[in-house]
Amino acid sequence: MNQTIKTLRIEHRNIAYLLDLLERQTDSIEKSGDPDLSLIVEIVDYLRSFPDMYHHPKEDLVLRRLRERATGFDEKFFKLDDDHEHLSDELHSFSKKVSALLTDPSPMTRSDFILSARSFINREREHMAMEERFFLPAAERWLTDEDWNEIDKVVGRFPDPMAALDSGQRFIRINKHLESGRNTGAAYSDETSAPV
């Protein structure tokens, strides 16, 4: 497996792990438990920063090359650009529900949050599942070694996400969660993926 595909799969595992954490916090809100609001804020902050800046651009690079190479390319499976835009919009509107929850924990606000959280989580999971099932295998099938060398070179020039996104303190709790996820095999990371 080439490095870019490996990195994208690792990043999917990390994002999936964070969605599970977010879902558990959402369950807690639904059951009138004691949700960890600061963790929710950190996850949403991370999801608003990392994918758009570091994950989607790598996929866009692969997609561009795939469009050139694949014959009988079925666009309907690969509307990644549109999907990324919709996910970004949905996350933006979900983040407003998070802000509302911080200042007004009324039943109405909680129920708005729950609806929005579940919708975003499902959509993000569906998106990644499509990429894992169709997009990445198609890229592996159609792209040549030369394509991958070029893509790997560009991806290799991406800055270290945690260093670029801040000092590493901004996502300190997420890093701790992912570290424990890595220890149990539920999340992965390496030097080319975030967080590190």
Residue ranges binding Fe ion (CB under 5 A): 59, 131
Least CB distance to Fe ion at residue 174 (A): 18
State which residue, 29 or 128, has the beta carbon closest to Fe ion.
128
State which residue, 44 or 139, has the beta carbon closest to Fe ion.
139
Identify the DSSP state of 104: -
Least CB distance to Fe ion at residue 117 (A): 19
Least CB distance to Fe ion at residue 60 (A): 9
Least Cα distance to 25 among 9, 38, 11, 12 occurs for 38
Least Cα distance to 40 among 106, 99, 124 occurs for 99
Least CB distance to Fe ion at residue 10 (A): 11
Give the separation between CA 66 and CA 70, rounded to whole angstroms. 6
Q: Output the CA–CA distances (angstroms, integers) from residue 196 to 163, 171, 172, in the order listed.
A: 9, 11, 11
State which residue, 46 or 113, has the beta carbon closest to Fe ion.
46
State which residue, 109 or 123, has the beta carbon closest to Fe ion.
123
Give the separation between CA 63 and CA 86, rounded to whole angstroms. 17
State which residue, 66 or 101, has the beta carbon closest to Fe ion.
66
Give the separation between CA 121 and CA 87, rounded to whole angstroms. 10
- The amino acid present at 68, given as its one-letter code, is E
Least CB distance to Fe ion at residue 43 (A): 17
Give the separation between CA 85 and CA 104, rounded to whole angstroms. 29
